[in-house]
Amino acid sequence: MIKVNEIFYSLQGEGFYTGTPAVFLRLSGCNLACSFCDTQHQDGVNMTDEDIVKEVRKYPARHIVITGGEPTLQLTASLTQALKRAGFFIQIETNGSIALPEGCEIDWITCSPKTKPIRIQRIDELKVLYPRQDMESCEGIVAKEYRLQPIDCGDAETNRENVKETISYILNNPKWHLSLQTHKILNVR
């Protein structure tokens, strides 16, 4: 059984796949307690792999984003294999502090590290929240894509400053690309 916080259908709002129709599978719980976390992920209901596949198949997209909290706390090879059999492209969003269980079939790993060491086996997209992150700690992390995302702290003036600082950093460090929380800008889930 996996404790599921919510399942919903929307557009991917952040990172490399921004704008892609996706089913979101938010798993409950996290191993960190970041002060800037904008997600209520603690509650949930227990579901089997079959329950989850049945629910996510109700939506037309076959791109699924498994997120949390921290999805690797509960993710299983059997769930990812069931989703692959159902035709899904599987993306996870993780803090990278826990390795994937053996046998997990993941197509795209978005890692937004908050602590060291990083234990995830590979990173397709490194997404760093800025400006609160120590960028020196991200040097040497190998990924296909590098994204810098301004933190939304809920205060308009501070948010404007965060965007300004993020853009300045990217212009001075062009391996990084800007990631915005477009779902918030567009007011979609």
Q: Is 104 a catalytic residue?
A: no
- H/E stretch holding 52: helix 49-56
Catalytic annotation, pick one of 6, 138, 145, 183: 183
Q: Is 30 a catalytic residue?
A: yes
Q: Residue 163 — φ and ψ, nearest 5°?
A: -65, -45
Catalytic annotation, pick one of 8, 36, 38, 134: 38
Q: Is 158 a catalytic residue?
A: no
Contact 79, 52 (CB under 8 A): yes
Q: Is 63 a catalytic residue?
A: no
185, two tokens: 């800008």
Catalytic annotation, pick one of 14, 30, 94, 111: 30
Catalytic annotation, pick one of 39, 48, 76, 158: 39
Catalytic annotation, pick one of 63, 67, 88, 93: 93
Bridge-based pairing of strands 45-47 and 145-150 is unpaired
In angstroms, how far apart are the furthest CA atoms of the chain? 48
Q: Is 39 a catalytic residue?
A: yes
What is the spatial distance between Cα 157 and Cα 162, in angstroms, rounded to a whole number? 9
Catalytic annotation, pick one of 8, 37, 43, 76: 37
Q: Is 138 a catalytic residue?
A: no
- Report which of 77, 73, 123 is spatially closest to residue 98, judged by C-alpha positions: 73
Q: Name the residues annotated as catalytic.
A: 24, 30, 34, 37-39, 93, 183
